Amino acid sequence: MDAQTVRRIEEALGYQFKNPQLLAEAFLHASAADDRRRSNERLEFLGDAVLSLVVCQTLFERFPDYLEGDLTKIKSRLVSRKTCAELANQLGLPAHMQLGRGMESSRALVGSIAAASLESAIAAIYLDGGMEAAKGFICRLYEPLFVQADAEQHQENYKSLLQQYCQQEYGCMPIYDLLDEKGPDHNKCFEIAVVVRHLRFDSAWGITKKEAEQKAAYNALCQLGLMGGPAAGSD
């Protein structure tokens, strides 16, 4: 691997290597290696473990109220091959992978090669700079996904949070009242409001009943003083 390629990868990763040979190994696909043990496969194996550990630790520390099942679901999505491939492509890593003859045109392996390029790069950073360097890179790269995961998890829980509150405070279940629906059958929108005993909360629209119910539950939580954000849109 020439010095210019090394610099480009370092810029993409935001990390400068003390031992650039690790990068050469990280971006050498088995199809282009004389000895498979010198390809990126072993680094991919290590990088997968480092990534999982850092993601698990970060989720554990950032979301102390999440149950084990919630953490596992988020972690599985964040370290999946699909997510790793998307992040690798954002950084432009697959373009630097040294592939054997015929592999460059193989579309079936594109996602696999992209994901492997990220995992092997993580291992290279870990071996070159230690866990703190690897953790810093992973956390910078994954920060938008951590934020997104938190937002999505809260959205999934609005109805359950409201249900728990209503059962504790009122001894009843919230009712989701369908007020209106608009649009053709293939593109409907639904307006739903939450009713708890004599209380009716602000309605909300959604492109599915499930989405409208989540937004309506969020509105109810806001009006009950349990959520601090703005109410979901209603017409």
pLDDT in tens, 107-145: 445 788 999 999 999 999 999 999 999 999 999 999 999
CATH for 174-223, options being 2.60.40.1120, 3.40.640.10, 3.30.160.20, 3.40.50.2000? 3.30.160.20
Q: Tell me what the mean pLDDT of segment 180-185 comes to.
A: 91
Identify the top-confidence range among 54-58, 106-110, 204-208. 54-58
Nearest CA to 78 out of 62, 95, 65 is that of 62
CA distance 213 to 195: 11
Q: Facing residues of 195 across strands?
A: 175, 200
Comma-separated ranges of CATH 1.10.1520.10 domains in the chain: 3-149
Higher pLDDT, 136 or 100: 136
The DSSP line for 38-72 is GSSHHHHHHHHHHHHHHHHHHHHHH-TTS-HHHHH
Nearest CA to 39 out of 48, 23, 26 is that of 26
The catalytic residue positions are 48, 119
Nearest CA to 188 out of 208, 215, 204 is that of 208
CATH superfamily of 3-149: Ribonuclease III domain (1.10.1520.10)
Comma-separated ranges of CATH 3.30.160.20 domains in the chain: 174-223
Specify the DSSP class assigned to residue 206: E
